[in-house]
């Protein structure tokens, strides 16, 4: 946290005294040099391509280029909103994101808190390593494992059958899809997600714990009154960032796990667009959908940041 | 404190990691740009001198066959996906034995450019968006929006009619001798756009129904011919052999039965051409309801794999090899050949047999089945507008259609990978009985598995007599009359309309198909299902395809 505070202080400084920027550059030239690739990355790969978003309003033809393609107005947006499956994919996208946020988002925080209480270093590290592992496995393999686990002769069904239940091929049940999707997401990312919390935990002032102990606080009270408030800023920032991704459920995992039986709960905006894009190279249509998603995401980020600032005075900016 | 130091260390590692990735990205970009420029610079120079020289010496000889190896210093760049089996041995075709042999035989050193494995389609599209194209692009030009005709009009590739007349006597001879092929390889307005890959008769039929021969024999059953026979056989497999999924099939977007069973009712799971030459969409047919009713009954009786919407290649292997299934519709080599090999290893009595596409009444000829076209548009080489020395390129491409060239492309190096036995080429043991590598891996090094050349009639990759028999059985259909050719070309606007309507239609069709079969939707909803398809614009799509088919027939 110390670094973060320092960073914020600097920004405020430079902002209020523009004359000092040049001086600052000279003084911290190595820091600026280190910053420059990142800046360049964002300008080249994140900001510059935004110009390309105008193909959402054009009939883009690669040979004619962005400038040369004919204007199509809002035609692609009309096609998308007017499509038979618009409401279904829109709803599914929101539902999956929502479940992921409710169940998936707090999971790393809980794991980090639990790990924080573990005093045996060897055990702690083993748990960390094991929980990080799924994060590094390719999604295709993860999906293959999920298919194996959920198949009618898979591990999960073995357990169900052991307790006298009936075997079902879970990926053929529309009502199971979201549960499978979200719980496997948690399994994949919970370990990785703890890293940032553990980093924030290490920055909490030890004196606060001592003060709490002197006041008679036990472990539970310490967690409630020292640890959690210490983690709150990180938690809120991550939450805002996650809310900003609500409309973008990646298509990769969905298309690896769904099939026409589960379209009714599994088909999301990105997978639907993927199917359209695959048949014909409809760059413009895909861009229109992408733009629509981005606008909603952007509004959500602004909105949640505003709420967060109102409520507890922390936010992204 | 230890924790604190750790997190600091981690942070540094992260920064280092990111910097390394970034710098890699940067060098990768500049590297590409550099080599691209190099490729371009050279041909431009030699192009001028070459056209002059050849114009004088060959001018009055007219259509004289080009002499190989050619006496030229020209070179050009050739973009093509690399064979997946070759990558283990060479990262560039020019380094492979077959690449060297072609270079030696033609006298031209070609610079091959290969897209990253698995990203060919993406990189092909990116290439089209750029102005700097390789001289030759080998890919599926029928996926170009608006078709190859539009690619010529857009100035991406050059029409080859005059060039073939002048410099490609071998291909010209082949096209003149085979009007059917000729129709496939040109555009609606009669322009040739690519050097085609031409399949041999075995390469055209490679998928069909097959059953466990040992089970049939053991149960004293005949090879099923009619739908009723199939019912008897599948029931016996289930009851007597304990098959949990007597009939299964790969599911890839749809249950891939190659219209087996659909054909018995003279319909299809998608578009087809009826006996009057009209484009039809199977699900709209009244007899499609009969197919669904049949499958629904079989599904409820446990004859059809109850997991059929999630059957992938590896599940299919498992089903067949573990005795969970006794029948499927699948590939000749990757299915029948592979299963016979590993099945026999586990259990010497394991045997498979090909069944004819089912019919309703014995004696009928199957309405449809799997049948590909002679022309394989997926591996056809077009010359781009960036190419300078067209004459050399066209002559080089024509080499694979010459007698010697066909042998080289199909069989590789004489005396090394093949020998001539009474005028019939035979692969050597190095290729077919290699201790270290599979024949596919050896073939990838010594031959061109897919590319712009005619497949030799004698070339066969079958390893079991059952496979030879299967090709004969599966060929006995009227599929040639009823399959919609892949080379029909809707216009740009039409293909956009088709793509948009068909995504929704396919989604709907598959959902309903599965619901009907699994019994989640009453069968009397069928009329509503047809009406919904019509509301989604299926008639417009049929009209578009009909128009494109008419243009194709008039070529």
pLDDT by residue (tens digit) across B456-482? 988 887 888 999 999 999 999 999 999
- The pTM assigned to this predicted structure is 0.78
Q: Which residues contact A312 (CB under 8 A, 6 or more apart)?
A: A232, A236
Return the percentage of chain B with pLDDT > 70, whole number: 88
| Tens-place pLDDT, residues A91-150 | 999 999 999 999 999 999 999 999 988 889 999 999 999 999 999 999 999 999 999 999
**Burial of B326 from C-beta contacts in 10 A (0-12 / 13-18 / 19+):** buried
* Rounded-to-integer distance, Cα B194 and Cα B138, Å: 9
Answer with the residue of higher pLDDT: A121 or A3: A121
Taking CA atoms, A117 is separated from A26, A216, B317, in Å, by 45, 18, 48
The C-alpha atoms of residue B248 and residue B303 are separated, in whole angstroms, by 9
Nearest to B519 by CA among B325, B292, B339: B292
Average pLDDT, chain B: 86
Give the count of beta carbons closer than 10 Å to the beta carbon of residue B73.
Answer: 15
Question: Bridge partners of A59?
Answer: A70
Domain ranges of chain A: 19-73, 77-312
Calpha distance B120→B250 (Å, rounded): 24
* Residues of chain A found within 8 Å of residue B499, distances taken between Cβ atoms: 276, 279-280, 282
Which residues in chain A are closer than 8 Å to B156, comparing Cβ atoms? 63
Q: Is the pLDDT of residue B26 over 50?
A: no
User: What pLDDT was estimated at residue B11?
Assistant: 53
Region A176-180: what's the mean pLDDT? 94
Separation of alpha carbons A278 and A272, rounded Å: 10
pLDDT tens digits for B328-337?
999 998 899 8
Residues of chain B neighbouring A44 (CB-CB closer than 8 A): none
User: What is the total residue count of chain B?
Assistant: 555
Which residue has 């105008």 as its token pair? A54
- Inter-chain residue contact B500 with A79, CB threshold 8 Å: yes
End-to-end CA distance of chain A: 16
pLDDT, one tens digit per residue, over B522-534 is: 999 999 999 999 9
Q: Is the pLDDT of residue B379 over 60?
A: yes
Mean pLDDT for the stretch of residues B211-231: 96
* Residue A5 confidence class, pLDDT cut points 50, 70, 90: very low
3-state SS, residue B105: helix
Annotation: CATH topology of B206-370+479-553 = D-Maltodextrin-Binding Protein; domain 2 (3.40.190)
Contact B155 A147 (CB under 8 A): no
Which of B156, B496, B536 is closest, CB to CB, to A63?
B156
**Residue A191 tokens, joined:** 């370990």
Q: Exposed/middle/buried for B13, CB within 10 Å: 0-12, 13-18, 19+?
A: exposed
Residue B83 DSSP SS3: coil
Q: Report helix angle A228-243 to A106-117, nearest 10.
A: 160
| Residue B75: closest CA among B320, B383, B392 | B392
* CATH among 1.10.3720.10, 3.90.1150.10, 3.40.930.10, 3.30.565.10 for A77-312: 1.10.3720.10
Nearest chain A residue to B511 by CA: give it.
A260
> What band does B64 get if pLDDT is binned at 50, 70 and 90?
low
The reply to whether residue A280 touches residue B507, judged by beta carbons under 8 angstroms, is no
Helix axes B286-300, B227-241, angle to 10 degrees: 10
pLDDT mean over A169-192: 93
CB proximity list for A311: less than 8 A, separation 6 or greater: none
How many H helices and E strands in chain B? 22, 13
From the CA of B289, how many Å to the nearest CA of chain A?
19
Write the DSSP string, A63-77: TTHHHHSEE-TTHHH
Q: Please state, in angstroms and rounded to a whole number, the distance separating the CA atoms of residues B26 and B34.
A: 13
Would the pLDDT of A309 be above 50? yes
Report pLDDT for B487.
Answer: 84
**Percentage of chain B with pLDDT > 90?**
62
Give the pLDDT confidence score for residue A17 in this predicted structure: 53
Residues of B in CB contact (< 8 Å) with A are 3-4, 6-7, 10, 15, 18-19, 22-23, 125, 128-129, 145, 154-156, 251, 306-307, 309-310, 495-496, 498-500, 502-504, 506-508, 510-511, 513-514, 518, 536
Does the pLDDT at position B496 exceed 90?
no
What number is the average pLDDT over the span A1-18?
A: 44
Burial of A15 (0-12, 13-18, 19+ CB in 10 A): exposed
Q: How far, in Å, CA of B208 to CA of B332, rounded? A: 8
Domain spans, chain B: 74-198+372-458, 206-370+479-553
Query: A275-301, pLDDT tens digit by residue?
Result: 876 656 677 888 888 889 889 889 998
Token pair, residue A44, equals 């080249």
Nearest to B510 among A37, A201, A260 (CB): A260
B292 to chain A, closest Cα gap in Å: 16
Q: Do A282 and B498 touch (CB under 8 A)?
A: no
Residue in chain B lying closest to A65 (CA): B129
Element (H, E) at A133: none
Partnered with residue B281 across adjacent β-strands are B271
Q: Test A85 with B504 for CB contact under 8 angstroms.
A: yes
Question: CB–CB of A85 and B507 under 8 A?
Answer: yes
Contacts of A143 (CB under 8 A, 6+ apart): A253, A256, A257
Closest CA to B66 of B169, B145, B157: B169
For B128-157, the pLDDT digits (tens) are 877 789 999 999 888 887 788 888 988 889
When the pLDDT of each residue in chain A is averaged and rounded to a whole number, the result is 86
A317 closest CA partner among A11, A43, A6: A11
Query: How far, in Å, CA of B91 to CA of B55, rounded?
Result: 37
Is the N-terminal amide bond of B69 cis, ω within 30° of 0? yes
Residue A280 has a pLDDT of 60
Q: Among the listed ranges A163-172, B115-124, B445-454, which one has the minimum average pLDDT value?
A: B115-124
Taking the Cβ of residue A260 and every Cβ of chain B, the question of whether any pair is shorter than 8 Å is answered with yes
Residue B31 to residue B29: CA distance in whole angstroms: 5
DSSP H helix total and E strand total for chain A: 18, 2
Residue for token digits 């014995």?
A: B362
Cα-Cα-Cα-Cα dihedral sign, residues A85, A91, A92, A94: positive
Residue entry with tokens 């090909």? B354
CB contact under 8 A, B15 and A34: yes
Quick one: DSSP state of residue B522? -
CATH superfamily of B74-198+372-458: Periplasmic binding protein-like II (3.40.190.10)
Question: What's the complex ipTM?
Answer: 0.77
Answer whether B511 sits within 8 Å of A263, measured CB to CB.
yes
> Contact, B222 vs B229, CB < 8 A?
yes
Asked if the C-beta of A264 comes within 8 angstroms of chain B's C-beta atoms, the answer is: yes
Number of CB pairs < 8 Å for A and B? 84
- For the stretch B533-551, pLDDT in tens is 999 999 999 999 999 999 9
Check for a shared fold between B74-198+372-458 and B206-370+479-553: yes
| Nearest-Cα residue of chain B relative to residue A79 | B500
Q: Which residue has the tokens 């260390």?
A: B9
- Closest Cα of chain B to A257: distance in Å? 9
Integer Cα distance of B324 and B309 in angstroms: 16
Task: Please tell me the distance in Å from A315's CA to the nearest CA on chain B.
Answer: 23
């Amino acid at each position: 946290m110390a670094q973060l505070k320092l960073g914020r202080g600097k920004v405020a400084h430079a902002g209020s005294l523009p004359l000092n920027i040049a001086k600052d550059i000279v003084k911290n030239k190595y820091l600026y040099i280190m910053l420059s690739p990142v800046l360049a990355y964002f300008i080249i790969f994140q900001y510059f391509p935004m110009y390309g978003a105008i193909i959402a309003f054009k009939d883009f033809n690669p040979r004619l280029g962005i400038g040369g393609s004919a204007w199509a107005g809002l035609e692609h947006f009309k096609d998308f909103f007017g499509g038979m499956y618009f409401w279904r994919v829109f709803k599914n996208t929101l539902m999956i994101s929502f479940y992921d946020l409710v169940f998936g988002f707090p999971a790393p925080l809980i794991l980090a808190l639990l790990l924080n209480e573990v005093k045996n270093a060897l055990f702690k590290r083993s748990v960390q390593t094991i929980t990080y592992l799924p994060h590094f496995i390719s999604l295709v393999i993860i999906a293959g494992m999920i298919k194996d686990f959920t198949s009618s002769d898979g591990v999960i069904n073995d357990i169900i059958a052991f307790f006298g239940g009936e075997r079902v091929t879970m990926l053929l049940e529309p009502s199971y899809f979201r549960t499978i999707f979200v719980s496997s997401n948690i399994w994949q990312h919970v370990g990785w997600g703890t890293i940032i919390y553990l980093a924030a935990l290490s920055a909490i002032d030890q004196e606060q714990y001592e003060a709490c102990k002197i006041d008679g606080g036990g472990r539970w009270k310490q967690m409630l009154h020292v640890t959690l408030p210490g983690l709150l800023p990180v938690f809120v920032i991550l939450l805002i960032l996650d809310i900003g991704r609500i409309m973008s459920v990646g298509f990769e995992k969905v298309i690896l796990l769904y099939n026409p039986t589960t379209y009714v709960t599994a088909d999301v905006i990105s997978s639907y667009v993927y199917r359209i894009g695959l048949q014909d190279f409809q760059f413009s249509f895909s861009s229109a959908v992408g733009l629509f998603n981005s606008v909603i995401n952007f509004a959500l980020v602004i909105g949640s940041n505003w709420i967060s600032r109102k409520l507890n005075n922390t936010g992204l900016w | 404190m230890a924790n604190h130091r750790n997190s600091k260390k981690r942070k540094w590692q992260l920064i280092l990691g990111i910097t390394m990735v970034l710098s890699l990205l940067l060098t990768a970009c500049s590297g590409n740009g550099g080599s691209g420029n190099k490729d371009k610079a050279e041909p431009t120079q030699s192009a001028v001198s070459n056209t002059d020289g050849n114009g004088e010496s060959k001018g009055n000889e007219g259509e004289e066959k080009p002499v190989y190896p050619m006496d030229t210093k020209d070179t050009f760049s050739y973009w093509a996906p690399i064979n997946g089996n070759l990558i283990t041995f060479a990262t560039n075709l020019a380094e492979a034995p077959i690449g060297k042999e072609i270079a030696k035989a033609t006298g031209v050193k070609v610079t091959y450019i290969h897209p990253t494995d698995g990203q060919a389609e993406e990189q092909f599209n990116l290439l089209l968006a750029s102005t700097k194209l390789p001289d030759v692009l080998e890919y599926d030009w029928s996926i170009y929006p608006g078709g190859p005709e539009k690619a010529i009009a857009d100035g991406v590739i050059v029409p080859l009619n005059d060039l073939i007349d002048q410099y490609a006597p071998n291909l010209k001879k082949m096209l003149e001798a085979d009007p059917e092929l000729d129709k496939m390889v040109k555009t609606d307005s009669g322009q040739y756009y690519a050097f085609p890959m031409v399949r041999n008769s075995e390469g055209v039929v490679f998928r069909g129904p097959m059953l466990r021969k040992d089970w049939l024999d053991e149960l004293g059953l005949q090879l099923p011919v009619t739908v009723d026979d199939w019912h008897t056989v599948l029931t016996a497999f289930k009851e007597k052999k304990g098959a949990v999924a007597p009939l299964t099939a790969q599911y890839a977007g749809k249950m891939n039965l190659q219209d087996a069973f659909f054909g018995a009712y003279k319909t299809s799971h998608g578009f087809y051409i009826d006996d009057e030459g009209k484009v039809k969409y199977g699900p709209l047919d009244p007899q499609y309801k009969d197919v669904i009713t049949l499958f629904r009954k079989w599904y409820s009786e446990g004859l059809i794999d109850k997991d059929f919407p999630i059957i992938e290649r590896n599940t299919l292997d498992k089903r067949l090899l573990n005795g969970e299934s006794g029948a499927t519709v699948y590939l000749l080599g990757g299915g029948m050949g592979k299963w016979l090999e590993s099945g026999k290893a586990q259990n010497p009595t394991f045997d498979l047999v090909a069944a004819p596409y089912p019919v309703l009444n014995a004696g009928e000829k199957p309405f449809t089945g799997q049948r590909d076209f002679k022309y394989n548009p997926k591996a056809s080489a077009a010359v781009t507008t960036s190419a300078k020395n067209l004459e050399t390129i066209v002559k080089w491409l024509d080499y694979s259609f010459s007698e010697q060239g066909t042998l080289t492309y199909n069989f590789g190096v004489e005396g090394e990978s093949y020998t001539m036995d009474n005028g019939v080429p035979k692969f050597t043991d190095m290729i077919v009985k290699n201790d270290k590598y599979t024949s596919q891996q050896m073939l990838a090094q010594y031959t061109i598995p897919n590319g712009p050349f005619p497949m030799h009639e004698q070339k066969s990759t079958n390893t079991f007599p059952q496979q030879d028999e299967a090709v004969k059985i599966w060929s006995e259909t009227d599929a040639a009359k009823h399959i919609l050719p892949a080379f029909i070309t809707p216009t740009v606007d039409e293909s956009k309309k088709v793509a948009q309507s068909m995504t929704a239609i396919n989604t709907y069709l598959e959902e309903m198909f599965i619901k009907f079969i699994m019994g989640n939707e009453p069968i009397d909803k069928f009329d509503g299902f047809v009406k919904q398809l019509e509301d989604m614009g299926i008639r417009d799509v049929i009209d578009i395809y009909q128009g494109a088919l008419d243009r194709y027939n008039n070529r």
